Chain A
Amino acid sequence: MPQARRNIVFWIFGGGFVGSLISFFYPVIRFLNPPAVSEATVNEVVDGKVQDLAPNAGKIVKFGTQPVLLIRLTQTEWRAFSAVCTHLSCIVQYDASRRLIWCACHNGQYDLSGKVISGPPPAPLKEYTVHLRGEDVVISRS
């Protein structure tokens, strides 16, 4: 068989083989890619009563699927921030003795307006709005 014909046969069969491999692996790759799960958007959560959190204390609350750090600074002053550290997604905590927000994973520190004071976090924490509805503490998107 002339070389040119051999080449044609080679490319037809080779191409078919590679194509079949792609057709095997493509569904596998797509299968492994997790489907996007649509979640109901949460704009506001009621998180317990005023008396549940003492002044100069903080706690993590659920805001839909996201953790939020709720801080009660004084009797009347409340703040809330996304609890996900902007460095590598660990969950931050309120450090009452130093009055700052601290991430234990890589020692990232934020002030009480969510700005980075020191450590590796590249961006500030997203702030949420806190208001009181009677005795209820309500957190909503800023």
Chain B
Amino acid sequence: MLPIQPGHRRKAITAWFQDRLAWDSVREFIAHKTVPVHSGTIWYAFGGITLFLFLIQVITGILLLVYYRPTPAEAYESVQFIMTRVAFGWLIRSIHSWSANLMILSAFVHMFSVAFLHAYRKPRELVWFSGIVLLALALAFGFSGYLLPWNTISFFATKVGTDIATFIPWIGSTVGRYLRGGDAVGGATLTRFFGFHVAVLPALTSLFLLFHLGLVQKFGISTPPWVETRSRAAGTNLPQMPFFPDFFLHELMVWYGALGLLGILAALFPWELGAKADAFASAPAGIRPEWYFLAPFYTLKLIPGHVAGIEGEVVGLLGFGLLAFWWATLPFWGERPDGTVRSKLVTGGAVAFLAYLSTASLLGYLR
């Protein structure tokens, strides 16, 4: 019997998989996929960076699960154990916290980039809506994960956050009880938030992420109206580049940059743990939520107890709700029925929204 050559064996294995997976078609597809050259600019990179940071969250989150214990008696101590006794535990936890913050920052930059570049237009409305849902899920990840170390600041942030939910008209008290697992923030809240954080939110995020990315693949990367106009005036097609390797390597380089920044931040500024939560201690001076909740936090500080006979929190909640609704429905008011973009309205609205978020956040941080 003739010996089997190594090259033949490899070919045989490849053929075996080819027969069952038909991956030639995938290879063909990738080889011929192109993206417009303008998508190489930095404002198109933040969606990919957000995705990359989400993957980092999944990996570091799974690692933290190995040691973390979601009970009021053990949560704080288990995080302390991770940070002080487990090899590289401090680094894994620090990367998880920093990456969470950078992911939300990157998602915000991505959202505003999409608004300023008018990428929400027909037929991409559902890409925008699913993106808004993904941002809400990222904020829910941040809110639920914040409680898990069971420290003072996270305890009070959860008290305030879940209390705000109770001001939703009609269903507020039910929502509050569902979130807390009872009438007050305690052990039941911790196990609930843990369940949301490691099971419910990842499942929902994966679904919406697949939908979001599937639509991006279906419609391709958008082109700003002014680039379209220029290209039409010149009578030329939009310049394209191959997805693989050009765009792929470009993305890989950006992701590597993000990883480098993340490594520097996590190593030089390790995330603090603070003091253990105590349900019978006063809220410490200088308490404030994470930066992405500073704008509503500061706004709630400014609203008096009652406004025109309505409770201040209800007014605040209504205001935030209307603002979020106005922004989420951008595709409906950002484009005229004839398909042209309401450029001034959208840009002006986005600048005003951004100005409110950054000013209120800054004041919330300083005061």
Contact A34 B188 (CB under 8 A): yes
Q: Which B residues are in CB contact (< 8 Å) with A89?
A: 159-160, 163
Q: Are A90 and B313 within 8 A (Cβ)?
A: no
Given contacts A33-B178, A105-B156, contact A90 B304 (CB under 8 A): no
Determine if A33 and B177 form an interchain contact, defined as CB atoms under 8 angstroms apart. yes
Tell whether A87 is near chain B: CB-to-CB under 8 Å. yes
Please measure, in the bound complex, the distance between the C-alpha atom of A33 and the C-alpha atom of B287, giving whole angstroms.
31
The reply to whether A88 and B160 contact each other, CB–CB distance below 8 Å, is yes
**Inter-chain contact A122/B282, CB cutoff 8 Å:** no
Asked whether, in the complex, the Cβ of B312 is within 8 Å of the Cβ of A122, the reply is yes
A91 & B283 in contact (Cβ 8 Å cutoff) = yes
B 174-189 binary contact with A (CB < 8 Å = 1; else 0): 1001101110100010
**Among B174, B178, B279, B301, which residue has its beta carbon within 8 angstroms of that of A107?**
B301
> What total of chain B residues lie within 8 Å of the partner, measured CB to CB?
33
Q: Are A120 and B280 in contact (CB under 8 A)?
A: no
Kindly identify which residue among A34, A60, A65, A88 contacts B177, using a CB–CB cutoff of 8 Å. Answer: A34
Please indicate the chain B residues that have their CB under 8 angstroms from the CB of A90 in the complex: 156, 159-160, 283, 287
A83 within 8 A of B: yes
Residues of B within 8 A of A71 (CB): none
For chain B, residues 182 to 237, give those with C-beta under 8 angstroms from any C-beta of chain A. 182, 184, 188
Note all chain B residues with C-beta closer than 8 A to A92.
Answer: 282-283
Residue A93 at the chain B interface, CB threshold 8 Å: yes
Contact of A88 among B159, B181, B286 (CB under 8 A): B159
The answer, among A60, A93, A120, for a CB contact under 8 Å with B304, is: A120
- A65: B residues at CB distance < 8 A: 184
Report if A137 contacts B (CB, 8 A).
Answer: no
- A123 near B305: Cβ-Cβ < 8 Å: yes
Contact B280 A105 (CB under 8 A): no
Beta-carbon contact of A88 and B163 below 8 Å:
yes
Contact A121/B282 with A88-B163, A89-B160, A89-B163 known, Cβ cut-off 8 Å: no
User: A88-B313, A90-B156, A123-B305 in contact; A67/B164 too (CB < 8 A)?
Assistant: no
Q: How far is the CB of A31 from chain B (nearest CB, A)?
A: 11
Q: A33-B177, A61-B280, A120-B302 are in contact. List 17 more A-B contacts (CB 8 A).
A: A34-B178, A87-B305, A87-B313, A88-B163, A89-B159, A89-B160, A90-B159, A91-B282, A92-B283, A93-B283, A104-B287, A105-B156, A105-B160, A106-B300, A107-B301, A120-B301, A120-B304
> Can you list 15 contacts pairing A with B, beta carbon distance less than 8 Å?
A34-B178, A34-B181, A37-B182, A61-B280, A62-B280, A65-B184, A87-B312, A89-B159, A90-B159, A91-B281, A104-B286, A106-B301, A120-B300, A120-B301, A123-B305
Q: Which 5 A-B pairs have the closest CB atoms?
A: A93-B282, A122-B305, A88-B163, A90-B283, A104-B283
